[in-house]
């Protein structure tokens, strides 16, 4: 199932910041185009993947769902109190209001190069999204560096999903209009010299080797929920459907202090509150639930030995708009809300010794009416 980041509460931060549940949120970057994941370099520079604002080059769909591609995706560097786009011209697809774009979703900076993960949309089962030449970089890991004219594709996750379909088309499939094969890579992290990647629509965790070979590390199971009348109305589900197979929709991945991979899941329709989990995958092992009872997880990170979980909407994406939530889960299982008020559509986390960084208004463009994408800092000192 393609990752759905429906708009939730628009709680724009004033210039001076906003008091969180246990700290203060301060805006450190603003006017970003659909900002997603963050990468904190050893130098202290912070990098944010901007999914962009789409374009007008080639379009799919019609009406409010009409989405067009353009080269508006980018990577922004935040350093020494200033922000600047260090990579531009990456593929981006968005509706005409530039909301909820698909494009650069995550970034790693190492060895003088920018490694970028780009989401995919409208996959047709052959690894082709129908968006022409620029669309070929969607659903892939690309690399670029100063002096390179165009990004180079390292590995196409969309093509791998089309060829292998590791989750075997999990979920409601044709009964709810989803293709049996789908791909939407959404987050990655350095791992074993390569990259561990979660594919939100493929419901799996993949590994991209240093040479670009793709293999499966884990596949995440579905859950079954009974539907309410409100669920059917909101998502257009036929009245005769009593229950739904809910896909995992992994949205985030981090290497823990124990060397294991931790994966947070958004979950799929009907985005039920409390249904999301964080999985732990030890090297060579199978997924095991590390934390449950969570809601629409958009990112995970570690603060020391404590797990940080970012929820995109406290009440769940299937409910009326609600703010996001940042939760700390200590090793003994104790949970503490670190921030909520002022978080709207938060999509990414990064941590250093004295602060937590969060991408806020992560499904909003950097211009026009309404909230604009930004990065905020929460002090932990």
The owner of tokens 């570690």 is: 302
| Residue labelled with tokens 């390569």 | 194
| DSSP 3-state of 3 | coil
The enclosing domain of 26 has a CATH number of 2.130.10.10
Token look-up 């791998």 returns 160
- Does 83 map to a domain? yes
Closest among 92, 95, 97 to 67, alpha carbons compared: 95
Number of domains, the chain? 1
Q: How distant, in Å, are the alpha carbons of 271, 321, 326, 327, 352 from that of 293?
A: 13, 19, 14, 12, 27
Radius of gyration of the chain (CA): 19
Whether 1 is in a domain gets the answer: no
Given this model, what pLDDT does residue 5 score? 44
Question: Does residue 242 belong to any structural domain of this protein?
Answer: yes
Distances (CA, A) of 223 to 35, 81, 246, 277: 30, 45, 5, 11
pLDDT tens digits for the chain (381 residues)?
444 443 222 223 333 334 444 458 999 999 999 999 999 999 999 999 999 999 988 888 888 888 899 999 999 999 999 999 999 999 999 988 888 799 999 999 999 999 999 998 765 555 567 788 888 899 999 999 987 778 999 999 999 999 999 998 765 444 455 566 789 999 999 999 999 999 999 999 999 999 999 999 999 999 999 999 989 998 889 988 999 999 999 999 999 999 999 999 999 999 999 999 999 999 999 999 999 999 999 999 999 999 999 999 999 999 989 999 999 999 999 999 999 999 999 999 999 988 999 999 999 999 998 899 999 999 876
Note whether residue 8 is domain-resident: no
Task: Please give the backbone phi and psi of residue 133, each rounded to the nearest 5 degrees, phi first.
Answer: -60, -45
Give a yes or no: residue 140 inside a domain: yes
Judge whether 228 and 287 are in contact, CB under 8 Å.
no
Domain, as residue range, for 343:
18-379
Q: For residues 123 and 111, give the distance between their C-alpha atoms in angstroms, rounded to a whole number.
A: 32
Evaluate whether residue 279 is within a structural domain.
yes
Helices (DSSP H) in the chain: which residue ranges?
A: 132-135, 157-164, 229-235
| Number of other CB atoms surrounding residue 257 within 10 Å | 11
In this prediction, residue 367 carries a pLDDT of 92
Residue 157 counted as domain residue: yes
Spell out the residues 6+ positions from residue 168 whose beta carbon is closer than 8 angstroms to its own: none
Per-residue tokens: 8: 């939730």
Per-residue pLDDT at 176: 52
Q: Is residue 10 part of a domain?
A: no
């Amino acid at each position: 199932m393609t990752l759905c980041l429906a708009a939730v509460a628009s709680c724009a931060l004033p210039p001076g910041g906003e008091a969180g549940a246990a700290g203060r949120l301060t805006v450190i970057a603003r006017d970003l185009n659909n900002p997603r994941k963050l990468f904190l370099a050893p130098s202290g520079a912070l990098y944010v993947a901007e999914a962009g604002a789409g374009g007008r080059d080639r379009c799919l769909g019609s009406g409010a769902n009409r989405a067009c591609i353009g080269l508006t995706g980018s990577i922004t560097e935040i350093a020494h109190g200033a922000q600047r786009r260090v990579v531009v011209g990456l593929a981006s697809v968005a509706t005409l209001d530039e909301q909820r774009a698909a494009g650069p979703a995550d970034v790693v900076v190492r060895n003088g190069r920018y490694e970028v993960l780009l989401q995919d949309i409208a996959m047709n089962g052959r690894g082709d999204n129908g968006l022409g030449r620029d669309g070929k970089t969607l659903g892939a890991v690309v690399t670029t560096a100063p002096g390179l004219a165009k990004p180079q594709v390292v590995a196409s996750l969309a093509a791998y999903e089309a060829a292998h379909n590791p989750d075997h088309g999990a979920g409601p499939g044709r009964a709810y209009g989803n293709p049996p094969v789908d791909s939407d890579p959404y987050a990655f992290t350095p791992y074993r010299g390569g990259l561990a990647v979660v594919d939100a629509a493929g419901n799996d965790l993949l590994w991209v080797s240093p040479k670009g070979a793709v293999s499966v590390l884990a596949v995440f199971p579905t859950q079954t929920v009974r539907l309410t009348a409100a669920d059917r109305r909101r998502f257009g589900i036929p009245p005769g459907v009593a229950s739904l197979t809910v896909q995992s929709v992994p949205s985030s991945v981090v290497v823990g202090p124990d060397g294991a991979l931790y994966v947070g899941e958004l979950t799929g329709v009907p985005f039920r509150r409390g249904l999301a989990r964080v999985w732990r995958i030890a090297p060579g092992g199978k997924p095991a639930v590390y934390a449950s009872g969570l809601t629409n997880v958009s990112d995970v990170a570690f603060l020391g030995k404590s797990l940080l979980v970012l929820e995109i909407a406290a009440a769940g994406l299937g409910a009326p708009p609600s703010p996001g939530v940042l939760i700390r889960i200590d090793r003994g299982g104790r949970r503490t809300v670190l921030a909520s008020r002022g978080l709207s559509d938060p999509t990414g986390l990064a941590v250093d010794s004295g602060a937590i960084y969060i991408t806020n208004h992560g499904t909003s463009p950097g211009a026009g009416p309404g909230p604009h994408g930004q990065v905020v800092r929460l002090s932990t000192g």
